[in-house]
Amino acid sequence: MAPTKNTSASSTLAIPLWFTVLAGLAIAARVAVKLPSSEHKSAIAWLKPSEVTTRLAAPGETRELIFYDCMADWCPPCKKMERTAFQSKAIIESINKDFIPVRVNFSNETGPEEAATKSLKRKLNVYYLPTIAITLRNGDLVAKDWGLIDLKELMKEAQKKAGLVRAERKLSQGLAAEALSLLDKKKLSGEEPINDDIEIVVYDHTLRTLGKEEDCKHLLEKNFARVEEKRKALPPALNKPAFYLSLINYLQGKESFEKLVNEAANTNGEKGAAHLALALKAMRDNDKAAAGKEFRKAAMDLSRGYHEDKLAEFYIEELERTTR
């Protein structure tokens, strides 16, 4: 699911914010180049950060996803994105149709947009430019990437993941039946595979919470068989049990949590998934104190691995809210 951030080649083309600020100040007196306005070079109907709240409340506004383009006038990779990806007719049409597009220009950290821009910088955890972040209307993050981004893939991923993020929020509020209605029906039936560690934990927890043990067993067996079949087809040097298989074994009660964490020890994202599985088991056992500890471990490990999944944070928010 939710995508674990890897340091791909595109990420190396992102610019740290502290560097871009210094660079921008250094060249401001010599270079007066601005990105083309959306009116002249792009048909994307960009909003300013301060206009988002009004747009969300506008009659007839039905788009559920907000597309934030975090950029700056003095950022070379941002300009390249503007000259290339943002000039694609297909991308322009998709953004305008399926997303509420917001341009967060870090050149505007002073002036009328200062407060709204700085607020979004904190909310979206922007450290590099360009960054694209896609959220639900309520602000829950769905997808995020930085550098020279494959926008088509990121938008496709966000549209697929939106229901899962909504389901995670419902789970954290104790609304498992509503969460179930938001999950992918083909994945629930086993017709399509669930390939993501966090996602299999979410599906498992939702079904178990609702007492659908047989459905859960069928789902885990289907996914285990698919991954095991792929593993056996690998060359001998690569033919090793994957963490995903160990995770399913743990969820089925066939493997200890200690072994699961040991197998995930070298990868923060996998450690996060392991702690998340234990936290959700504690929630089913109504042990909120133990769950809270594991959710915090999960959130820490996932953030270290640049994993954008927010399920642990959703639960932490709810547990803190209910114990105030």
- Residue 69 phi, psi (nearest 5): -100, 105
Residue 162 lies in a domain: no
pLDDT in the model for residue 237: 72
Average pLDDT over the chain, rounded to an integer: 85
Measured CA to CA in angstroms, residue 220 lies from 35, 116, 239, 242 at distances of 50, 45, 21, 15
Residue 167 lies in a domain: no
Whether the full predicted model's pTM is greater than 0.85, yes or no, is no
Domain count, the chain: 2
275 shares a domain with 203: yes
218 shares a domain with 185: yes
178 shares a domain with 152: no
Residue 219 lies in a domain: yes
Residue 308 has pLDDT above 80, yes or no: no
Which residue matches tokens 């959700």?
Answer: 280
Measuring CA to CA, which residue among 144, 148, 132, 15 is closest to residue 75? 15
Residue 30 lies in a domain: yes
Residue partners of 183: CB distance under 8 A and separation at least 6? 163, 164, 167, 202, 203, 206
Measured CA to CA in angstroms, residue 223 lies from 35, 165, 195, 217, 248 at distances of 47, 21, 8, 10, 8
pLDDT in the model for residue 18: 54
Distance CA(291)–CA(311), nearest Å, equals 13
141 shares a domain with 198: no
CATH number at residue 117: 3.40.30.10
Residue 305 has pLDDT above 80, yes or no: no
Residue 1 lies in a domain: no
227 shares a domain with 132: no
Residue 97 lies in a domain: yes
Is residue 263 very low, low, confident or very high in pLDDT (cuts 50, 70, 90)?
confident
Give the residue numbers spanning the domain of 38: 9-156
211 shares a domain with 108: no
Among 129, 156, 183, the domain-final residue is 156
Residue 166 lies in a domain: no
272 shares a domain with 318: yes
119 shares a domain with 182: no
pLDDT in the model for residue 204: 97
Residue 161 lies in a domain: no
Listed range (12-26, 220-234, 265-279) with the worst mean pLDDT? 12-26
Among 156, 190, 206, the domain-final residue is 156
210 shares a domain with 142: no
Among 156, 189, 212, the domain-final residue is 156
Element at 132 (helix H, strand E): strand 131-136
Distance CA(27)–CA(25), nearest Å, equals 6
Which residue matches tokens 């503007």?
Answer: 82
183 shares a domain with 76: no
36 shares a domain with 141: yes
181 shares a domain with 152: no
Distance CA(163)–CA(294), nearest Å, equals 25
